[in-house]
């Protein structure tokens, strides 16, 4: 019996990262060299490897659920300046934006999630400034917003594919910083995640998508065209990371060659940021004693 108790305890404490991921994965300010960041690393991972990952990620559920419910409750009760959280996901094709949404964001109540996937702009979106569709998708108070791609596409694909002249995209970095600052000041905690996958791993994943009819739907022939421009994309990502890495909207670089680490890491980052909000349950907006008496009598 005693031995059993001991092993349960060890397991529980080993579910926490060895150091906060918000420090370990935070991109330092200054020049960025993506090639120097190991895409297969597992910083802060408390387990031995892949086999531990489902249990470690699952172990986050009760705490994440409660933290998210507090956030949601604060939004619902229209607490003055109720916060929101935005998890912004960027990365090359196959880096796992969808996987993170399914496996990490899937741990919390869907009612508290506001998910937006940004595609090639629609004719309607094209009539507006590029930040128009982004602003509309910002999470409401109490919500966790998820951006599957984001405003950064307007300095990534738009830059690499030369969809607008350099004079136009070059001014966007400062514009994005200002936009994010306003959102942060309005109460949104912004967590920008760059899912950093290697060129070799991307090939593996594209190959896997072609190996099974169950994965054809994930395969887009255009991904191979983007792959052919890998260095240009890495350069564009480097600039986006370097020029838009602010204290109000920092970048986190998530090594993404190991799917199990990537999913666990993003869930952890969300957990740490929710804890950082230090939210209490909203006060009752009614007389609790009087309502107890009314219910008892009813």
The CA distance from 144 to 139, in Å, is 6
Q: Does 205 bind ligand AMP (CB under 6 A)?
A: no
Q: In terms of CB distance, is 69 or 154 closer to ligand AMP? A: 154
CB 131 → Mg ion: shortest distance, Å? Answer: 23
**Contact with ligand AMP (CB under 6 A): which of 153, 180, 201, 257?**
153
In the bound complex, what is the minimum distance in angstroms from residue 180's beta carbon to ligand AMP? 16
Taking phi first (over 0 means left), then psi (-120 to 50 degrees means alpha), and beta for anything else, what does residue 121 get? beta
| The one among 158, 249, 274, 279 contacting ligand AMP by CB under 6 A | 158
Q: How many CA atoms lie within 13 A of 233 on its CB side?
A: 19
| 173 is a contact residue toward ligand AMP (CB under 6 A) | no
Q: How far is the CB of 258 from ligand AMP (least distance, A)?
A: 21
If the CB atoms of residues 232 and 277 are measured against Mg ion, the closer one turns out to be 232
Under rule CB under 6 A, residue 16 binds ligand AMP? no
- Give the tokens for residue 77: 């009760």
- Interface residue with ligand AMP among 157, 164, 184, 277 (CB under 6 A) is 157
DSSP string spanning 33-61?
-GGGS-TT--TT--SSSGGGHHHHHHTTH
With contacts defined by CB under 5 A, how many residues of the chain interact with Mg ion? 2
Q: 272-295: string of b/e by CB count within 10 Å (b at 16+)?
A: bbbeeeebeebeeeeeeeeeeeee
Cα–Cα distance between 189 and 211 in angstroms, integer?
A: 40
Closest among 179, 112, 122 to 146, alpha carbons compared: 112
Comparing CB distances to Mg ion, the nearer of 92 and 253 is 92
Q: Which residues in the 116-135 window bind ligand AMP by CB under 6 A?
A: 118-121
Q: Which residues bind Mg ion (CB under 5 A)?
A: 93, 220
């Amino acid at each position: 019996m005693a031995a059993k108790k001991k092993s349960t305890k060890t397991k529980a404490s080993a579910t926490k990262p060895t150091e906060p991921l918000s420090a370990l994965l935070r991109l330092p300010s200054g020049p960025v060299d993506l090639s120097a960041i190991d895409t297969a690393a597992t910083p802060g991972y408390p387990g031995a490897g892949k086999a531990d990952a489902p249990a470690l990620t699952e172990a986050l559920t009760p705490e994440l659920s409660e933290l998210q419910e507090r956030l949601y409750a604060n939004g619902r009760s229209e607490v003055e300046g109720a916060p929101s959280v935005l998890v912004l996901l960027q990365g090359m094709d196959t880096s796992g934006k969808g996987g993170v949404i399914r496996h990490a964001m899937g741990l919390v109540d869907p009612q508290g999630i506001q998910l937006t996937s940004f595609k090639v702009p629609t004719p309607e979106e094209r009539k507006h400034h590029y930040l128009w569709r982004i602003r509309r998708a910002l999470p409401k108070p109490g919500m966790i917003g998820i951006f599957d791609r984001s405003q950064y596409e307007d300095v990534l694909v738009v830059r690499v594919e030369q969809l607008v002249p350099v004079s136009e995209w070059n001014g966007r970095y400062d514009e994005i910083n200002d936009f994010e600052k306003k959102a942060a000041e309005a109460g949104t905690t912004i967590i920008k995640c760059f899912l950093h996958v290697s060129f070799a791993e991307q090939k593996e994943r594209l190959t896997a998508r072609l190996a099974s009819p169950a994965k054809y739907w994930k395969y887009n022939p255009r991904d191979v065209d983007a792959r052919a421009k890998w260095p240009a994309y890495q350069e564009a990502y480097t600039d986006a990371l370097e020029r838009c890495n602010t204290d109000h909207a920092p970048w986190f670089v998530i090594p993404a060659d190991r799917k199990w680490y990537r999913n666990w890491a993003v869930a952890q980052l969300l957990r740490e940021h929710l804890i950082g909000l230090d939210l209490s349950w909203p006060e009752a907006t009614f007389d609790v004693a009087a309502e107890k008496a009314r219910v008892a009598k009813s």
